[in-house]
Amino acid sequence: MRSKRYAPLKNVGQPIEEIDLGPQKASRAAARGAAEFKFAPEQSLKGIHVPILTPLVDADVPGSPPEPVFDSAAQSDIQGNVIPGFNKDHQHFLFFRIRNPKRAKLFLRDILPRISTMEEVIAFRRLYRSKRFLLGRHNTYLCSTWVNIAFSRRAIELLANKTDADAFGDRSFQLGLAQRASYLGDPTSPAHRGSPRKWRVGGPKNEAAIVLILASDHVGVLDDLAALLKLRAGDAALDLIFEQRGDTLPGDLRGHEHFGFKDGISQPGVRGKLSAAPGDYLTPRYLAAGDDRRLYLAKPGQQLVWPGQFLLGEQRQSTEDQLNAIAAGSNFPKWAARGSYLVVRRLQQDVPAFYSFVARGAARTGIARDRFAAMLVGRWPSGAPILRLPGGDNPALGDDDFANNHFIFDDDTRPSSLRPIPGYPGDTYPQAAADFLAQVCPHFAHIRKVHPRDTATEMGKPADTFTRMILRRGIPYGPPLIGVKKPTGKLIGADRGLMFLCYGASIEDQFEFLQRRWSNSGSQPNLGGFDPIIGQNGRRGSRIRFIDCPTPAGTFRIKMQDEWVTPTGGGYFFAPSISAIRDVLAA
Ligand code: N7H
């Protein structure tokens, strides 16, 4: 079935009017927009297929290049939040400074056995998925608790040596987030609330050397572990400079971020196998033999990418074609292989300011509020892509892992052909129609900015886009405001946002590229305005951005004066392999 096109547009791409909505401060009135916002609660698992992660023996694809095997030795050497990711409802981040490198090494030796590996996290995930499948519900009452660690460049110099620290080829890692802040478009005026000087951590005067990431299904266990590790760290002369709790939002908001949109849907599929056994892929392959896209996709819409995009020392993605790898990089000390760069950004979200903009932008353009908000993101609140359902949200699509990421932008999306999956009725939603002119999902939409999919960009072929992909590992912090009927002033003004974390093999070519080249640009990868979620304008002191909003009456250029996502801390780190911690950093 073809999706119905949104009404035809006039003067496509040519702004016919400039709209200046003026500044707006967070207030009770502004918060009303957030209270009235209708988000779609998560569906029960009934009728929704939950894939089990055991090997699908006939999933090998003739003609695809052989993928590296991450055997048990490799899996127990790679930190588990890099791959496959902790994905826990409760996380705690501890940021330390090193006072005494020798004593810091004792701490590292002490916690080494606690560091959670890829092997452990995959084993738990498989158990959890099969239990969830049996029970037909999310809550299996299975619990696990994980710990990971990462180091700044300065920490590596203190714990290893300057030569090794200098040998990390990523220039952004060398400089650190505070020095890259202005390049990222972060506020430079000292008076701005997002100025690095005001950051809780990671500013010019409070950079962290070590970050510990703790994650658990169980709040009490997480608290106990955080208390224990803080004590041990204190004994080892590690100064805690900042800590941040992150929690999945409660109730029907589970899995959604503070603006109310489901997050964590689209991730690259890391190529590689877990054993030489047929079909034992790190990222399970679900496309049927008859679907030619199974060479490139793990499940519909999930792009397969070579592991060297996320782990140093592994084969990287070719920019020439989607299928093939190029050789591993070598711009790092040998012991850094199987490690990954980690970007941490504490991004404060001003929910009233966002919904005030939505309400005023919708009123001025004549677009319904929920559609206007969805156009900013590129998905409806449930996670359903607007390109698949231009007419309105459908939570069942948002929750359908085999359909919610199945769309491309420039061409019609062909229906996918899946292997038989017990209990899955198939993807029966309308397929996305080509949106070359970005009439349905505008070029400025967050997901179109940071992942233009099949669209050629200023960088060339779409395959280049796959080298920009990141493994996102974020979690919200602070109390939700969305959907709260009568919020108190205290709740409206509470500090809330996203602990944004991502891993990659290059900070500069991946995270920074997405933020700076695409989100912060009104014209790249395509003309149409800034990314209204994370785009910043840091040029010549102006923070004003714009979006060219398509409407049936024509395209309106809407100025965005307020900022609703503000950096308030973070850091650039490196997450080494377990053996590198044991043999180099703790030695
Ligand atoms: Fe974004 N949001 O709620 O609007 N993001 N993001 N992000 N983001 C995504 O597909 C959001 C941020 C990416 O493959 C979704 O998982 C918010 C930064 C990428 O189609 C939603 C913040 C960067 C994707 C949000 C924020 C990115 C993505 C859709 C900050 C990198 C995958 C759900 C407060 C520079 C795109 C999903 C794809 C998706 C939101 C930050 C990147 C809803 C609120 C800093 C690569």
Query: Residue 169's pLDDT is what?
Result: 97
Q: Quick check: 23 and 562 in contact, CB under 8 A?
A: yes
Q: Hey, whose CA ends up nearest to atom 25 of ligand 1?
A: 263
If you measure from the C-alpha of residue 498 to the centroid of ligand 1, how many angstroms do you get, rounded to a whole number?
10
Q: Output the pLDDT for position 37.
A: 59
Question: Residues lining ligand 1, judged by CB closer than 6 Å?
Answer: 257, 259, 261, 263-266, 345, 347, 349, 377, 379, 446-447, 450-451, 470, 472, 497-498, 500, 511, 514-515, 533-534, 565
Which residue among 172, 248, 258, 266 is best mutated to probe the pocket of ligand 1, counting the most ligand atoms within 8 A of its Cβ?
Answer: 266
pLDDT at 12: 52
Those residues with Cβ within 8 angstroms of residue 159's Cβ, 6 or more apart along the chain or in another chain = 98, 101, 104, 105, 108, 151, 584, 585, 586
> In this predicted structure, what is the pLDDT of residue 463?
84
What atom in ligand 1 is closest to the CA of residue 448? 20
Give the span between the Cα atoms of 373 and 262, in whole angstroms.
Answer: 13
Residue 454: closest CA among 299, 587, 301, 341 = 301
CB atoms within 10 A of CB 436: 10
Mutate to test the pocket of ligand 1, among 409, 501, 533, 536 (most ligand atoms within 8 A of CB): 533
pLDDT at 5: 43
Q: What pLDDT does residue 480 have?
A: 96
What is the pLDDT, as a whole number, of residue 309?
98
Average pLDDT by stretches of 10, the chain with 587 residues: 43 67 62 60 43 67 90 98 97 98 98 98 92 82 97 98 98 98 95 96 98 98 98 98 97 94 97 93 93 94 97 95 93 98 98 95 95 98 97 95 96 94 88 96 98 87 91 98 91 97 98 98 94 90 92 94 96 98 98
Q: Which pLDDT does position 453 carry in this prediction?
A: 96
Task: Report whether 270 contacts 70 (CB < 8 A).
Answer: no
Q: Are 473 and 308 in contact (CB under 8 A)?
A: no
577 Cα to the center of ligand 1, angstroms: 27
- The CA distance from 518 to 516, in Å, is 6
Cis omega (within 30 of 0) for bond into 422:
no
DSSP per residue, 41-90: PPPPSTTS-----S--TT---TTSPPPPB--HHHHTTSBTTTTT----SE
Query: Cα–Cα distance between 225 and 161 in angstroms, integer?
Result: 31
460, β-bridge pairs: 457
pLDDT of 32 reads 64
Query: Cβ–Cβ contacts within 10 Å for residue 575, how many?
Result: 24
Q: Which atom of ligand 1 is nearest to the CA of 514?
A: 35
3-class DSSP string for 430-466: CECCCCCCCCCCCCCCHHHHHCCCCCCECCECHHHHH
Residue 40's pLDDT is: 47
Q: How many residues belong to the chain?
A: 587
How many Å apart are CA 165 and CA 157, to the nearest integer?
5
pLDDT for 500 equals 98
CA of 447 to the centre of ligand 1 (A): 6
pTM of the model: 0.94
